[in-house]
């Protein structure tokens, strides 16, 4: 999926410009914003969560990062 999208690197290695260009559903962005507040994520944590969600969407074979992908990525965050 990553190569078909024209990415030259794995999702984990996306730079800031590439991360901002990801296709994310608006309700998924809302959930991510809520996750930032609830879990006290830094900008780095927010971006890492988004990259994990991109990989989850790739596994499902979809181009758009959806709410379920963000929720799953947030569930992998280390607590405490």
Q: Residue 80: pLDDT above 90?
A: no
User: Which pLDDT does position 73 carry in this prediction?
Assistant: 97
pLDDT over 80 at 79, yes or no: no
Write out pLDDT tens, residues 21-66. Answer: 999 999 999 999 999 999 999 999 999 999 999 999 999 999 999 9
Q: How many CA atoms lie within 13 A of 15 on its CB side?
A: 3
Domain boundary assignment for the chain: 11-75
pTM score: 0.91
- 26-39 and 43-60 are packed helices; what angle lies between their axes, rounded to 10 degrees? 140
């Amino acid at each position: 999926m990553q190569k078909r999208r024209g990415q030259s690197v794995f999702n984990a290695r996306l730079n800031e410009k590439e991360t901002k260009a990801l296709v994310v559903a608006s309700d998924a962005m809302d959930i991510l914003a809520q996750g930032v507040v609830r879990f006290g994520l830094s900008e780095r944590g927010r971006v890492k969560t988004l990259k994990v969600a991109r990989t989850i969407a790739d596994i499902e074979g979809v181009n758009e990062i959806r709410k379920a992908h963000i929720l799953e990525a947030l569930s992998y965050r280390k607590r405490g």
